[in-house]
Amino acid sequence: MSESRPGLAVVVGASGALGAALQVQLQQEGHYGRVLGLGRASEIRIDYAEEASIAAAAQAVARICAESGLALRLLLVATGFLHGPQGQPERGWRHLDAGYLQQVFLVNTLGPALLVKHFFPLLPRQGRCVAGFVSAKVGSIGDNALGGWYGYRASKAALNQLVKTAAIELTRSNRDSICVALHPGTVDSPLSQPFVKTGLTVRPPQEAASDLLAVLAGLAPTHTGALLDYRGQLLPF
């Protein structure tokens, strides 16, 4: 991923399987002056349930930019929630549960929205900058032929709309900016493990990270606002 000048790359969700792989690969590639991983347990802490932590993290990153002279050129958001103590993805409408819906929307939609609010002002107003949000193909309304998984589908569809809307606003401040939603495929992680079926292609995090970074490297500002898969193919909203 070639940049016209060194910059700072930030990976949110760096404690997860895909986020960790993205951070490691970015560090190994060496295209950025610094690669910073953020999460609930990182030195610069982010907790989606606490907007104050997101605001404080943005302020900390702003200080790093000012002290290092590096502009925030890449923001990758690799957080996601599918199942946990709050519940499991719904097989049908009878399984809809307010507690699960609140959690899945908090992690998949509200948290990323607050990242846009606090981190997008740090993106430079000139030159290439990229914001990539890990979404999911099942968040595509046009591609939904199976039903089920109400909360996960809806929260990712909402994320896609947020990305599209933020991309339009970001372009107004920087015509060279790119803001996209990304489908990484089914990544081998705790998120997907309970749902792996025979014959389903499960991708190692390192492979998924490599593919996503290659897609981002090949994007132009004309791609901003799109939902793309790990092969760079455009997916319907």
Strand arrangement of the beta sheet that strand 7-12 belongs to: 34-38, 7-12, 71-77, 129-134, 177-183, 227-229
Q: Structural domain boundaries of the chain?
A: 7-229
Residue 112 CB: number of other CB atoms within 10 A? Answer: 28
Given CA atoms 1, 77, 193, 190 in this order, what sign does their dihedral have?
Answer: positive
Partners of 34 in the β-ladder: 8
Q: What does the pLDDT read at residue 195? A: 60
Residues 170, 120: contact at Cβ < 8 Å?
yes
Q: What does the pLDDT read at residue 197? A: 60
State both tokens at 71: 């502009």
Residue 164 CB: number of other CB atoms within 10 A? Answer: 17
Q: What does the pLDDT read at residue 4? A: 45
Residues 134, 184: contact at Cβ < 8 Å?
yes
Q: Is 80 exposed, middle or buried (0-12, 13-18, 19+ CB in 10 A)?
A: buried
Alpha-carbon distance of 185 to 26, in angstroms, equals: 19
Query: Is residue 66 over pLDDT 80?
Result: yes
Q: What does the pLDDT read at residue 190? A: 63
Partners of 8 in the β-ladder: 34, 72
Q: What does the pLDDT read at residue 100? A: 97
- CATH 3.40.50.720 assigned to domain 7-229? The reply is yes
Percent of the chain surpassing pLDDT 90: 89
Q: What does the pLDDT read at residue 3? A: 43
Instruction: Label residue 87 by pLDDT band (50, 70, 90).
Output: confident
pLDDT for 211-236, tens place per residue?
Answer: 999 999 999 999 999 999 999 999 99
Closest CA to 25 of 71, 64, 74: 74
Instruction: Label residue 187 by pLDDT band (50, 70, 90).
Output: confident
Query: Is residue 22 over pLDDT 80?
Result: yes
Strand segments (E) across the chain? 7-12, 34-38, 71-77, 129-134, 177-183, 227-229
